[in-house]
Structure 1
């Protein structure tokens, strides 16, 4: 079977395959992944006795020595007789061309007995004899050349132990650059003139040693070098079409004919293919069932897209952006690769308008979050519950049609290069207005495929997010007091009006009146909440307390009131409504804006003590909680104030 990585232009197929081959090569050369191959060390004395004349150098070898630069000083080429060093070596080293494991030299019918004697009875031995992954140990055969050497030696020496004394193992190191274990062909690489390779010097020595040129043919093809390795084609076009077709018989039978020899080829076959290249295989319908297509779409995950930019342009680029802006650039690119309409998303989210501060009307931004494996916190509980396994499967299944159109990987890198070159400055960070301006002025073709209104939704989401960050950073709350208010409120709604009670949680005395309940509900709901909504709130709290909090969580599970779901829900409401109003005292305060601009300068010392305290608190929290630099915190605060975001999202 051949694995074809199939996808549109610029989707990263080549990068993916190169990374895969690099990781494979690295692992194969580690101690954990290292493999061993056969190398024969043929003892000349044992095989030839004292007949040295039979092993004298051939004329071809003498010619090699003459032209060898290392022997340059030993020869006189100016008409004098040539002198040769005819000293006999101890052995001839013959490596296995197919990189076979030395154990395969043992005849198949004897392997189980040999292993049974060599390996003690333990868990590994049981796995070796029973599990599928070790079947090759007992079923595979050694290459034709090694088999010929074994048979010839056995005839000559008569004893298997004598034969195995000449059998050695050496590490099998993968090296893509010299085609050892990994061979990669580009469409422009011309085929070899002949389909076999011959080591004439070694062949002549083998012939002289065995005194028969037909016993062992040291002949092999380029496929032998990738036996037990990887053979890859970069794009199935031009010369690679021929190579692909040539693989048909190898993949079907696992053998390749080299002259009169059958050469076994067992390796991973990979190929890259663009959609238009599929027609090159139409003439070979029987080949289709031997191909397994693996789709490589354009990147749909925001984090992966950002990592690609940082890998190409350097990790330092992140420091040129305000937080979230680089990710939003990736979202603007990815939106062109996603279908605008989604039946699964429409079935899941019935009313997208309720999420207008977080998402676009077509729910493309939400799709990106789901594809990144994130269920956003801003989703309502009912929608989170609706996202069950069945619904999630529908969304993921639908995603399989995405990533085949839109801005390619090459396009996105080119566009990012233009954007970064234009807006990256030393004195300021790249902001969302920069991003929106850039995409609005982009060429017609890229601009057309960005869904209408998407950039506006992206900007709105960003504005709302940074407003919440500033509020969170500016807000200081007394957790103990909030906890007391909520506990007192729960106790109050479980008792009659105008009664005086002692709260069972805080031990404080409470006079249950409309005014008391409203004072806390103003923070749980809003100051202008109507009486009906307040009544519903009280009934809801009472019902949850009696049916779940008291009877289940406190009495059975032994939880403290502060650990219950009711308390946490009210606590979050309380804090959220306090944060909504935290900016109100500062929005129209010009001194506050000036203090932000002057932060960490001499002018900052001239401002009012309270403003200095608030600004310092704000800047430190933006840095600590949300990863802003001092410059970034300064710029984002000015952006929030100048664009009046507090009033823009006043009712949000």
Structure 2
């Protein structure tokens, strides 16, 4: 099952990943904490699955140590009390040095080899055959750890040429283990025992090979997951009697090497995970206390290195099972997985569960508005960060709720609405944005859970979805206020009304933009002539240097353009202030800086663009006025794509066709959706209300 991470959780997770990569978080257990139904288990299962898949690819392959010994050492016919097998082995290796190197050793010298005798090279191991026995490292240690710590830096310095990788290897935290980690006790004992007899580390290295570390969750190799109902294992210590017998024969039954290890060794350099810390998993979590703290685990007389990534998921009510152990809680790093607060992620979940075809049953924006209602139940009604930014929320009452939740949802989704004033946009600094987003850590712990939201959506969809009519805002409001009145108790007071206001405003803007047809050349000439005219006295006649047109500069001329720039009739003192501001900007910046210094044409200057946006906005605001009381226009919309449509006046047919086609092209409406939206705007008189 997919897990849909909203932007907020994704940012938190990546921050933790970067911290782990740099080595900032050590000796920790990472617990994914969140309310029931938020997808914790799904997330962890998917994380483990992707880890297993990547670790078994060529790019993600890691290597583990395997000791390969010649099986001739174990020939029972050659055993002799006076001539122990280990002595026989040493003599055989000495003879090989005198008579020639083994066939699988490559020739060649390097400084490290010269200092320590013999030749050392990296070569492909021979195929496994009857002539060898293998002793795999139970802790999956990397072969590089078999080199004594005090030699590793010199060895690697000579092995790799100077460059970026070598610099990272020697200096970055994520590679610190190469120089600091110790091999497991079993490998250390094997190395020391063979070194004692051979007196030459390079001859010991010839017995060390690398093989891919294969991750297999089902076998508990590299990934091990425990559910609360999993019974404690009867045998915590793992051994291999056959291999132990062979080791004992090599070392003459001295018990120098005890090939025993715990279950933790199987996930060393892997992931050890607990699904919910309750029942049997409580004991498992507590058992991890000393292991996480010290990084070692006692297996009979042997100390075993444990270098796993420990993870768990828990519900808030289960935290009490481990909170009584203060020293353990200090080792816990909580990562919050909360209910989804990102609007687009919530909608993506519905599409994934119910299919992408659900979009075909909704008017645009209505499906997202359903998600907004669900998310509102998960948010706090008061936000100090939002109120510090927006001092008077009432000024946005047409588009937003009094608690500013609708605006906050947009910010959580990475979007700033167009209806935010220029003043508030300037006040929306990076610091304020971070403070608002930080509040997400305290939200998403209440309200409709992920499972509940799917049940609610399923009921809503089955109630209203049909072939002949699309789900609209009236149906959505009706469902929460009349069909399922119990659900509205979880929705903040007044939120549905504010959501309807925002929807009405947005669809009105879409219809206006789709009906709006303008002559760009005429608009451009008006703005250029206006900027030019402000530099001369009223009553003068001048030729505009931008357009080449002769202009009689009168109050009527200026007011005709200002009525669009200022969106209607305004008082004379405001007009004069506006003119002074434009003329000042032109002479102080546009003319001297952009036109004369930067050689920009007037149409590419900031002043021109600002006036152009004002002009177009004003035209769009008034575009519906001729059609509001025209019943033929409304009927023509209903009859669009029908035979009766041809009976209407050509001008009306042209306007309706232009409107419907633009809604389809620019706003992704279906033909049916475009028709229903236009009728909704006209019937609800939205142009007069907004």
Give TM-score scaled by structure 1 length: 0.88
**Shift in CA distance, 641/36, structure 1 to aligned 2, threshold 3 Å:** same
Q: Does 1:559 align with 2:600?
A: yes
* CA gap 1:245/1:385 in 2 versus in 1, 3 angstroms: same
Shift of 1:367: 1.3
* Paired position in structure 2 for 1:249: 290
- CA gap of 1:259–1:476, structure 2 versus 1, over 3 A, is same
Equivalents in 2 of 1:435, 1:321: separation in Å?
A: 10
Distance 1:435 1:527 in 2: 36
Partner of 2:645: 604
Gaps of 5+ in 2: 1-27, 82-128
Match of 2:528 among 483, 487, 491: 487
Inter-CA distance 494–116: structure 2 relative to 1 (3 Å threshold): closer
1:24 maps to 2:65:
no
Deviation at 1:334, TM superposition (A): 1.2
Equivalent in the alignment of 1:38: 65
**Segment of structure 1 superposing worse, 512-521 or 19-28:** 19-28
Q: 1:158 offset after TM fit, Å?
A: 5.7
SS for the counterpart of 2:311 is strand
Do 1:48 and 1:209's aligned partners in 2 also have CA atoms closer than 8 Å? no
Distance in 2, matches of 1:540 and 1:256, equals 76
Q: TM-score, normalised by structure 2?
A: 0.84
Q: Which position in structure 2 is the counterpart of 1:110?
A: 151
CA apart distance, 1:207 = 3.7
> Separation in 1 of the partners of 2:428 and 2:287?
49
Question: Deviation at 1:445?
Answer: 4.9
* Residues in 1 aligned to 2:682 and 2:170: alpha-carbon distance in whole angstroms: 73
| Corresponding position of 1:73 | none
Q: Tell me how far apart the structure 2 counterparts of residues 472 and 583 of structure 1 sit (CA, whole Å).
A: 10
Distance in 2 of aligned mates of 1:138 and 1:49? 41
Secondary structure of 2:176's partner? helix
Pick aligned residue for 1:569 from 599, 603, 610: 610
Structure 1 partner of 2:633: 592
Please point out which of 39, 51, 55 is paired with 2:78: 51
Instruction: Give the SS at the match of 1:184.
Output: strand
Structure 1 residues 203 and 353, CA gap change in structure 2 (3 angstroms): same
Q: Distance in 1 between matches of 2:513 and 2:533?
A: 30
Q: 1:507 to 1:202 in 2, by over 3 A?
A: same
CA distance 1:350–1:154, change in 2 (3 Å): closer
User: Could you tell me which residue of structure 1 aligns to residue 420 of structure 2?
Assistant: 379
For residues 429 and 568 of structure 2, the distance between their equivalents in structure 1, rounded to whole angstroms, comes to: 37
Match of 2:343? Answer: 302
Counterpart of 1:228?
269
The alpha-carbon deviation at position 442 of structure 1 amounts to 5.7
Q: Partners in 1 of 2:586 and 2:162 — Cα distance?
A: 64
Contact 2:152–2:179 (8 Å) recurs in 1:
yes
Cα gap change, 1:47 to 1:160, in 2 (>3 Å): farther
Of the structure 1 ranges 225-234 and 339-348, higher mean CA displacement relative to structure 2 is found in 339-348
User: Is structure 2 residue 640 aligned with structure 1 residue 613?
Assistant: no
Kept in 1, the 8 Å contact 2:74–2:249? The answer is no
- The CA deviation string for residues 226-271 of structure 1, in whole angstroms up to 9 with x for no partner, is 1001111111111111011000110111111122222111011112
Structure 2 contact 664–671 (Cα < 8 Å) conserved: yes
Is 1:135 matched up with 2:162? Answer: no
- Is residue 193 of structure 1 aligned with residue 234 of structure 2? yes
318-327 or 117-126, which moves further after superposition?
Answer: 117-126
1:214-293 matched pairs, under 5 angstroms: 214-293=255-334
Moved more, 205-214 or 574-583: 205-214
Asked whether the equivalents of residues 378 and 444 of structure 2 are also in contact (C-alpha less than 8 Å), the reply is yes
SS in 1 for 2:313: strand
Q: CA deviation at 1:48?
A: 4.1
Of 26, 35, 42, which aligns to 1:15? 42
Q: Is the 8 A contact 2:73 2:250 kept in 1?
A: no
Change in 2 beyond 3 A, CA 1:599/1:176: farther
Give distance in 2, aligned partners of 1:538 and 1:283: 72
Q: Note if contact 1:472-1:579 (Cα within 8 Å) is conserved in structure 2.
A: yes
Is contact 2:32–2:313 with CA below 8 Å preserved after alignment?
Answer: yes
Q: Distance in 1 between matches of 2:260 and 2:668?
A: 64
Task: Provide the rounded CA distance (Å) in 1 between the counterparts of 2:360 and 2:418.
Answer: 27
The worse-fitting range, judged by mean Cα deviation, of 535-544 and 632-641 is: 535-544
Distance 1:94 1:131 in 2: 32
- Say whether the 8 Å CA contact 1:598–1:604 is kept in structure 2: yes
What is the Cα-based RMSD across aligned positions, in Å?
2.5
Match status 1:146 vs 2:187: yes
Residues 423, 430 of structure 1: 8 Å contact kept:
yes
- Unpaired segments ≥5 residues, structure 1: 55-87
Report what 1:173 is aligned to. Answer: 214
Residue 454 (structure 1) shift: 0.7
User: Does the 8 Å contact 2:33/2:315 carry over to 1?
Assistant: yes
Query: Larger deviation: 437-446 or 379-388?
Result: 437-446
CA shift for structure 1 position 405: 2.1
State which of 115, 138, 147 in structure 2 corresponds to 1:97.
138
Query: Matched residue of 2:542: which SS?
Result: strand
